[in-house]
Amino acid sequence: MIQQVYEVIVNKIVEKSGLSRADIESKVDAKVRELEDLVTKEGAAHMVANELKIQLFDTVPKVAKIENLAPGMNNVVLTGKVLNVSEPRSFNSGTRSGRVANITVGDETGTVRVVCWDENIMNEFIKAKEGDILKVRNGYVKQNNQYNEVHLGNKAQIQINPEGETIGEVKQFTQRASPGPASRKYINDLAENQVAEVFATIVQIFEPKFYTACPVCNKKVFPQGEAFNCAEHGSVVGKQVPILNVFIDDGTGNIRAVCFREHAEKLLGAPGRTFDEVKKDVAGKQMLFKGKLVKNAMFNRSEFVISSVEDADPSRLIVEMENV
């Protein structure tokens, strides 16, 4: 698990806040006492940074590997070796007609289908042939029958056999295993690709990002005149869908957790609240998070992708502790 150690975090807070190290450590110790040792010192330091409005992390994206793709990801940059090219087919949704084509690509971590809907790049897209290297930019990820797919809309860009790009031996793996039941785990004991439930405190919350989605299928849509265009449902009135990153801590460790759609909305609360209001309400809150630990190659870190979030039931937690 890739984490920033306590010393690094405190040094960054001192550098960016202008406060002394003693002042920062005093704030951290006070936060640990306030939360009755339910967070680590690293987690408490994250909370202090959040209260001081200090950004600890670089947000510049990097190229993704196939095994790290997750539904809801946007602006994906992916490079793969072409394994199969399908002939484009025509479609007519009643409000929109056009062509759609797909290419299966692979890299050292797996294979994925790349689906192109945009006529501006369609002719170039279908020129790719087996064995070529295909690089795509500004793709978005959706799941179809338990398979991840990278979709290309009108913001996407492609390159065939870009200079300097190579792919090693392709790993032939496409199916995303269906998640099993979640078992209660400590953060420090989480294993990659494990589905688990953790009882943790939100120690830092990052300003949410939003994308415009179709109100029917929740897929990303793109501007078309005064409305938006969905590849499957044509012209629609788009809705704003949030993506929210938080840091959670359970006393054994801490990790970045990612919430999409309704899970993010639950933490953000009623629409119209300012981010400062959200932070004041959410930071320090103890909740039950269900999800899966995945490796995010774009940022070279492990993340807990949340599939369910709920307020902790004290009576349930007491019973569980008595049965340990």
Model pLDDT, residue 258 = 92
Model pLDDT, residue 307 = 87
Q: Does the pLDDT at position 179 exceed 60?
A: no
Short-list 256, 260, 300, CA closest to 73: 260
d(CA 136, CA 160): 9
pLDDT tens-digit map of 195-208: 888 989 998 898 88
CATH class of 183-322: mainly beta
d(CA 52, CA 57): 14
Measured between alpha carbons, how far is residue 235 from residues 144, 213, 225, 238 in Å?
Answer: 22, 12, 10, 9
Pairing mode of beta strands 76-85, 97-107: antiparallel
On whether the pTM is more than 0.75, the answer is no
Model pLDDT, residue 174 = 54
Query: Which ranges in 54-189 belong to alpha helices (H)?
Result: 119-125
The mean predicted confidence, pLDDT, of the chain is 82
Model pLDDT, residue 248 = 93
Short-list 240, 233, 196, 193, CA closest to 217: 233
pLDDT tens-digit map of 109-164: 889 999 998 888 999 999 999 999 999 998 888 777 667 889 898 888 999 999 98
Q: Does the pLDDT at position 318 exceed 70?
A: no
Measured between alpha carbons, how far is residue 294 from residues 2, 89, 237 in Å?
Answer: 11, 34, 33
Burial class (CB in 10 A: 0-12, 13-18, 19+), 54: middle
Question: Please, what sign has the CA dihedral across residues 299, 301, 302, 306?
Answer: negative
Residue 32's pLDDT band, with cuts at 50, 70 and 90, is confident
The residues spanned by each domain of the chain are 6-51, 66-160, 183-322
Model pLDDT, residue 59 = 44
> Could you give the 3-state DSSP secondary structure of residue 299?
coil
d(CA 167, CA 174): 17
d(CA 63, CA 139): 11
Q: Does the pLDDT at position 55 exceed 80?
A: no
Which of 46-50, 146-150, 284-288 reaches the highest mean pLDDT? 284-288
Residue 4's pLDDT band, with cuts at 50, 70 and 90, is very low
Higher pLDDT pick, 272 / 116: 116
**Rounded to the nearest 5 degrees, what angle is found at the Cα of 305, between the Cα atoms of 295 and 264?**
145
> Could you give the 3-state DSSP secondary structure of residue 193?
coil
Higher pLDDT pick, 57 / 267: 267
State the CB neighbour count (10 A cutoff) for residue 80: 27
Q: Which CATH architecture has domain 66-160?
A: Beta Barrel (2.40)
d(CA 275, CA 245): 13
Domain pair 66-160 / 183-322, same fold: yes
Region 306-322: mean pLDDT is 64
Model pLDDT, residue 128 = 95
pLDDT tens-digit map of 68-110: 887 767 788 999 999 989 888 887 766 667 888 999 999 998 8
Model pLDDT, residue 124 = 94
Short-list 170, 152, 158, CA closest to 127: 158
Task: List the beta strands (DSSP E) in the chain.
Answer: 76-85, 89-92, 97-107, 110-116, 133-144, 147-152, 157-160, 183-184, 195-205, 209-213, 222-224, 227-230, 234-236, 239-249, 254-260, 286-296, 301-311
